[in-house]
Structure formats: C-alpha cells, structure tokens
Amino acid sequence: MQDNLLSVKTHSSKLHTFLGIHQIEQQVHQYQQYVDDLEKEDSAKEFNIKMNQNDEIEKIVSQLESQHSLREITVAKTETKLNRVPIMRREAQVQSREQSSISNMIMNIETKIDMNIRVIYSGHNSNAVCCVDESGKQIWLYGQDLLGPWGLCTDTYGNIFVIDQQFKKVIVISKDGQNSKVLINEEDRLEELQCICFNHNESSGFMCDLNGTYIAKFNVSSG
C-alpha cells in the first residue's frame, strides 16, 4: 500500500495520479470486504472447549472386576442311561406294525373294462356299417335301411350313431349291431349332414353339414 502511494506522488501527470488513486481504492475495498467476512463468520472468534470426565464407567468396571463368579465357568458331567433294544426284538416290532396295517386292507372292484379292440366303420358305397376285431375279422354287419352312411361316432356305452346322408337321418345302432333306432329324420330339416361327434364322457355333441355352413348341437337322453 505504501509503495503504491509513493508511486502516485512521483507521477507527474494527472492521468497517472488518477489511475494510481483508483487502484488504491480498489485494494482498500477488497481489504474491507475481507474484514467484514471474518466478522460474519465464526472463524475469527475464540472458543473454549471443556470436557468433564464421567466417573460412573470406572465404578462399573471396578464392580465387575470384584465379582469373581463372572470369570468362572463350571462344567457338570452327568450320565444318561440308554435303553438298548436287541436287533431281533426291533425287527419283530417293525413286522408287527406292517402286519397290522395290511390286515385292515381291502380291495373293491369298481369297473371292469373289456380290452377287446373293435373297429367300426361305415361303407358309403356298400350302404352298411361294419364292426371288425383287431385281426380284421368281421364281428357284425348292419345294412338295414341305409343309403349312403357317412359320419359316425360312439357314446360312452359303445352305441354307434350314424348319419345317413341320402335318407337325411341319424340312427343309433346297439353295441352288438342287433338293434337300431331312427333319432333324426328328414322332417328335422338338417340338410346334407355329414359329420357327428360326442363330447368326451358326455351325452351331448355336435353335427355339421357337408359344406360347413352350420353346426347343430344335440343331446341324447333315455327316458
């Protein structure tokens, strides 16, 4: 700061004197701002820190050290009696439990299923429905009042349902091929029937025509 004042005095021109004084004013302003910042903050203040020792911890530690029982561990040994069962006796007990559970077991026969394989097909040109065994040997042949049998299916009892396309009827044939009955005829106005099927394990199903223009749902009941 003093060097700046001396430089201002030595300058001969007014311009140099003005610039020197302006520079000194800026420095004075910066110093004043620095002092103001120190007063606002706590960095220029003095603090006294005091710490009081808590004697309670030392008392607790001394009390624990005086208790010798806390530092002693006692191990007690006791004997346990084991009940030993001979191997032969244990096997006899297991066998007796198995025999008791088997002695209460019963068996009931609910359903007997005939495993003989049969193939049933319709002959559109032969005007008949035929049933053969797995070797191809004919079991029975039904050709009564049929003209162009087409689609067929069986129900859960083994009865055969056949669509007669020419006579526009649906007939049912018994499982042995001996009996039959007309269920739907021309008066029911189901034109060009071709396919028939049952829902699985149900007494209802669907039929459709040759061109696939409609589907008819049916339900079979015995009164």
Q: What is the mean pLDDT of the chain?
A: 77
Rounded CA Rg of the chain: 57
CATH of the domain at 127: 2.120.10.30
Q: H or E segment at 22?
A: helix 14-40
Q: What is the pLDDT of residue 104?
A: 80
23: Cα separation from own chain's centroid: 82
Task: Give a yes or no: residue 172 inside a domain.
Answer: yes
Q: Residue 206: pLDDT band by 50, 70, 90 thresholds?
A: very high
- State percent of the chain over pLDDT 70: 63
For the record, the structure tokens of 79 come out as 């004997």
Task: Give a yes or no: residue 204 inside a domain.
Answer: yes
d(CA 20, CA 133): 129
pTM (2 d.p.): 0.48
Task: Give a yes or no: residue 8 inside a domain.
Answer: no
Domain that holds residue 149: 118-219
List, for residues 23-50, the tens digit of each pLDDT value.
777 777 777 777 677 666 665 566 566 6
Query: For residue 214, what are the contacts with CB-CB under 8 A and spacing of at least 6?
Result: 208
Task: Give a yes or no: residue 205 inside a domain.
Answer: yes
Task: Give a yes or no: residue 68 inside a domain.
Answer: no
Task: Give a yes or no: residue 107 inside a domain.
Answer: no
Task: Give a yes or no: residue 51 inside a domain.
Answer: no
d(CA 208, CA 185): 15
Task: Give a yes or no: residue 37 inside a domain.
Answer: no
- The number of distinct structural domains making up the chain is 1
